[in-house]
């Protein structure tokens, strides 16, 4: 069943890439496994997936010890990071996609290991609590680039919810433009219901949960 869902998502990615005139290999599928038990990560790994997204540091900290032997798996933090969890996060994630303050960047840098980071950008004032506004992006990018242990590779966003992907397209377009403007190659945007539009607008990383794993368990 997971295999079928992966195949369906893979088909959708390939068709979207083709329509957009893009290469499939320029798009990374991040399997979002929040609220699922660690076994599902191993199962997805066995089916060939290598990138995984988790939202909560504590939840993934609990799963992490059981996930031994997944040699080239890459774990992305895609949920808000509190500054008192930076040391733990730096130890268990390969990519922190949600850096949104200099304080967070400084703390991650002080954790001492080299770490890929992205900046979470907030493109609508009302919808989400985390993320920096576009006008604060230049200063934060400069601060992160001054951190020896951090490698800034891209931007991430979580647009206001809409079940119509065309409503979300302007946010995707804006994030891609900001990434170009700031010399950042990676663009993390698009979820189960709207990743085709995100790919059309230049997403290099799509974050897909329910389309791969079905409805999330209620915790
Ligand atoms: C849960 C989540 C996703 C995946 O959403 P689905 O609808 O399950 O594909 C992507 N990005 C973030 C930040 C999330 O929290």
- Ligand 1 site, residue 77, Cβ cutoff 6 A: no
Q: Which residues contact 202 (CB under 8 A, 6 or more apart)?
A: 172, 176, 179, 187
In terms of pLDDT, which residue wins out, 39 or 127? 39
Atom of ligand 1 nearest to the CA of 195: 9
Helix (H, G, I), strand (E, B) or coil at 147: coil
Report yes or no: 135 and 119 within 8 Å, Cβ to Cβ: no
Q: If you take atom 6 of ligand 1, which residue's CA is the nearest one?
A: 209
Residue 163 CB: number of other CB atoms within 10 A? 8
Structure tokens at 112: 């001492």
Task: State the closest ligand 1 atom to the C-alpha of 209, by its place in the atom list counted from 1.
Answer: 8
Is residue 31 lining ligand 1, measured as CB closer than 6 Å?
no
Contacts with 149 (C-beta within 8 Å, 6 or more apart), sequence order:
108, 109, 111, 112, 113, 114, 115
Mean of the per-residue pLDDT values of the chain: 96
Question: What is the 8-class DSSP label of residue 99?
Answer: E
| E strand segments, 2-99 | 28-32, 51-54, 74-77, 95-99
Evaluate: CB of 78 within 6 angstroms of ligand 1: yes
pLDDT at 129: 74
Query: Domains of the chain (ranges plus CATH)?
Result: 2-213 (3.20.20.10)
- Residue to mutate, 9, 52, 209, ligand 1, most ligand atoms under 8 Å from C-beta: 209
Task: Say whether pLDDT at 112 is over 90.
Answer: no
Global pTM value: 0.97
Tell me the three state secondary structure of residue 117. strand
- Cα of 206 vs centre of ligand 1, distance in Å, is 9
Residue indicated by tokens 């790919």:
199
pLDDT digits (tens, 9 = 90+) for 184-218: 999 999 999 999 999 999 999 999 999 999 999 88
The pLDDT assigned to 108 comes to 98
């Amino acid at each position: 069943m997971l295999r079928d869902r992966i195949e369906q998502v893979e088909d959708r990615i390939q068709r979207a890439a083709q329509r957009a005139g893009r290469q499939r290999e320029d798009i990374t599928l991040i399997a979002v496994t929040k609220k699922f038990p660690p076994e599902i990560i191993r199962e997805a790994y066995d089916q060939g997936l290598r990138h995984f997204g988790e939202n909560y540091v504590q939840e993934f900290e609990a799963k992490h010890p059981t996930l031994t032997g997944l040699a080239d798996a890459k774990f992305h933090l895609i949920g808000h990071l509190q500054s008192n969890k930076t040391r733990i996060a730096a130890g268990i994630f390969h990519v922190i996609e949600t850096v949104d303050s200099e304080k967070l960047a400084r703390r991650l840098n002080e954790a001492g290991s080299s770490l890929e980071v992205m900046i979470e950008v907030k493109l609508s004032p009302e919808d989400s609590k985390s993320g920096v506004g576009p006008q604060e992006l230049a200063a934060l990018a400069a601060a992160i680039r001054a951190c020896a242990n951090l490698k800034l590779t891209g931007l991430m966003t979580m647009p206001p919810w809409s079940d119509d992907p065309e409503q979300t397209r302007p946010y995707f377009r804006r994030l891609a433009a900001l990434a170009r403007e700031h010399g950042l190659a990676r663009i993390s945007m698009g979820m189960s219901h709207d990743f085709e539009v995100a790919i059309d607008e230049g997403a290099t990383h799509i974050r897909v949960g329910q389309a791969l794993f079905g409805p999330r368990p209620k915790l």
